[in-house]
């Protein structure tokens, strides 16, 4: 019996494994899939998710990958799959601007290590995603390349700094985008865009060829529709790299195989009071529903206490201010006028912190790592909301929570700073929508280098909830 008609757009809306199957069954060709990706990018252009699109180059590579498949050379499930990069990640021969005017003409001489890994796996990089300038901000309001717009609501922020990456995945213009995360820049855009996104442990993925924001906090990882797709991409880009001495020598496990293990016997903790305090009602209810779902799947869900969390945002802010200011000191002196006003102000503010402030912040990080190590003796994973609120409007400086106006810039790190400070992995998965149909995200934290456990928890939740399958109207 002949296979039913499958359009390239249908395949683009599915999972990576479904697309890989369609390519190998000749239900769609690689050039057709890449063309559908490019068409989707063009159709959603008003959202300003991309700063560069490599149409001609991507189609050329697509034809080459199809020839390889036709000749029996199977490179794995990412072969022929359209993927994007945040524009602070190098791709040889293309510009890496980091969302700035200063690097507008910066052509990468070589691939970032993660870019090279994607190419070896046969992935097709179709473009670079818009971002907050130098990744130093959470709005993706970019004075040089335009403001990015959340696909779920008119004039809603996609957050940042990987805002364009979240939009690209939400609109299904690519199967995944590689973002970077310092204080939450993968997980926060993933949350407000209704997609999945993982910040790996520090050292799990090489930062070689990635423009830095804060050396001791930076990581790179995928945003994708599902935990399963994140697992497939992370397996390719993770691993030790001689170009980055911070990378771990620990073996990279088969994340995909771990997804399907049952949750029976797994201990899942939520931080009593902290995980449900200072959050909007819709977020609290979605979070509680997620806890109930885990219990129904056989996990043991229990409250835990972790002391000394009050200073976590402050500590991350100090480090995430001082280190970028050190990186940008010469440019600030010589080219200060080329920065956007908000980023220049933040970089200048970083000089106000003393060496004592910085050392104390790093000492607190060491203390908090110990507290989390102790907590992970009690539980296998720790859950919080990813954000205490859903996507604000573009330019909105404050959000109302429990009758109080709270600053967006710092409140957005209320939960994400936990992984940033401790270096443990953090995964966002969608767990619902508020009354305005804006996505709500769950953050899953696991011990260092236990990304597979986080992905397993995310996948098992998605298998019974399906929130990750919803897409915004802009992608219809």
Q: In angstroms, rounded to a whole number, what is the distance separating the alpha carbons of residues 254 and 262?
A: 16
Range of the domain at 438: 8-475
Asked if the structure places residue 45 within a domain, the reply is yes
Residue pair 177/84 in contact (Cβ under 8 Å)? The answer is yes
pLDDT digit of tens for each residue in the chain (476 aa)?
Answer: 334 558 999 999 999 999 999 999 999 999 999 999 999 999 999 999 999 999 999 999 999 999 999 999 999 999 999 999 999 999 999 999 999 999 999 999 999 999 999 999 999 999 999 999 999 999 999 999 999 999 999 799 999 999 999 999 999 999 999 999 999 999 999 999 999 999 999 999 999 999 999 999 999 999 999 999 999 999 999 999 999 999 999 999 999 999 999 999 999 999 999 999 999 999 999 999 999 999 999 999 999 999 999 999 999 999 999 999 999 999 999 999 999 999 999 999 999 999 999 999 999 999 999 999 999 999 999 999 999 999 999 999 999 998 999 999 889 999 999 999 999 999 999 999 999 999 999 999 999 999 999 999 999 999 999 999 999 973 33
Pairing of strands 82-86, 124-129: parallel
Which string of DSSP letters, residue by residue, matches 254-271?
-HHHHHTS--TT-EEEEE
Q: Say whether 471 is catalytic.
A: no
Q: 404: Cβ–Cβ under 8 A, 6 or more apart, which residues? A: none
* Total count of domains within the chain: 1
pLDDT by residue (tens digit) across 237-292? 999 999 999 999 999 999 999 999 999 999 999 999 999 999 999 999 999 999 99
Identify the H or E element spanning 227.
helix 227-237
Asked if the structure places residue 376 within a domain, the reply is yes
Asked if the structure places residue 152 within a domain, the reply is yes
Asked if the structure places residue 347 within a domain, the reply is yes
User: Which of 177, 185, 191, 325 does the annotation list as catalytic?
Assistant: 185
Asked if the structure places residue 1 within a domain, the reply is no
User: Which of 15, 29, 37, 86 does the annotation list as catalytic?
Assistant: 86
Asked if the structure places residue 3 within a domain, the reply is no
Q: Say whether 161 is catalytic.
A: yes
User: Which of 35, 100, 161, 173 does the annotation list as catalytic?
Assistant: 161
Of 194, 178, 192, the C-alpha closest to 226 is 194
Asked if the structure places residue 2 within a domain, the reply is no
Asked if the structure places residue 350 within a domain, the reply is yes
Residue 413: which CATH number? Answer: 3.90.1300.10
């Amino acid at each position: 019996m002949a296979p039913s008609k499958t359009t390239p757009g249908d395949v683009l809306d599915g999972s990576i494994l479904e697309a890989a199957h369609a390519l190998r069954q000749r239900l769609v060709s690689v050039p057709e899939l890449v063309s559908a990706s490019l068409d989707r990018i063009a159709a959603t252009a008003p959202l300003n998710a991309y700063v560069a699109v490599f149409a001609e180059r991507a189609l050329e590579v697509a034809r080459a990958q199809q020839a390889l498949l036709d000749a029996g050379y199977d490179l794995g499930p990412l072969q022929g799959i359209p993927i994007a990069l945040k524009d602070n990640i190098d791709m040889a021969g293309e510009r890496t601007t980091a969302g700035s005017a200063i690097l507008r003409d910066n052509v990468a001489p070589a691939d970032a290590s993660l870019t090279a890994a994607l190419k070896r796996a046969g992935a097709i990089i179709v473009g670079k995603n818009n971002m907050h300038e130098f990744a130093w901000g959470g709005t993706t309001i970019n004075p040089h390349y335009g403001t990015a717009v959340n696909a779920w609501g008119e004039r809603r922020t996609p957050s940042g700094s990987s805002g364009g990456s979240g939009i690209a995945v939400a609109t299904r213009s690519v199967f995944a985008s590689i973002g970077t995360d310092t204080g939450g820049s993968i997980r926060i855009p993933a949350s407000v865009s209704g997609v999945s996104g993982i910040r790996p442990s520090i050292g799990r993925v090489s930062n070689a060829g990635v423009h830095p924001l804060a050396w001791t906090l930076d990581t790179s990882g995928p945003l994708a529709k599902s935990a399963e797709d994140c697992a497939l991409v992370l397996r390719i880009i993770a691993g030790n790299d001689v170009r980055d001495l911070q990378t771990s020598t620990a073996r990279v496990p088969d994340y995909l195989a771990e997804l399907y293990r049952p949750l029976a016997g797994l201990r899942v903790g939520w931080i009593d009071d902290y995980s449900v305090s200072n959050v909007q009602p819709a977020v609290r209810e979605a979070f509680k529903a997620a806890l109930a779902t885990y219990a129904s799947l056989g996990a043991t869900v229990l409250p835990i206490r972790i002391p000394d969390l009050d200073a976590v945002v402050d500590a991350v802010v100090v480090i995430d201010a001082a280190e970028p200011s050190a990186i940008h000191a010469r440019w600030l002196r010589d080219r200060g006028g080329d920065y956007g006003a908000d980023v220049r102000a933040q970089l200048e503010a970083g000089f106000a912190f003393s060496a004592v402030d910085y050392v104390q912040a790093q000492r607190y990080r060491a203390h908090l790592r110990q507290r989390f190590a102790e907590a992970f003796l009690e539980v296998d994973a720790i859950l919080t909301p990813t954000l205490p609120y859903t996507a604000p409007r573009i330019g909105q400086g404050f959000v109302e929570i429990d009758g109080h106006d709270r600053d967006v810039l710092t409140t957005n790190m209320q939960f994400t700073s936990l992984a940033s400070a401790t270096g443990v992995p953090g995964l966002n998965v969608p767990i619902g929508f508020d009354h305005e149909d804006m996505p709500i995200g769950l953050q899953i934290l696991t011990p260092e280098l236990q990304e597979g456990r986080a992905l397993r928890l995310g996948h098992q939740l998605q298998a019974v909830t399906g929130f990750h399958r919803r897409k915004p109207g802009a992608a219809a």
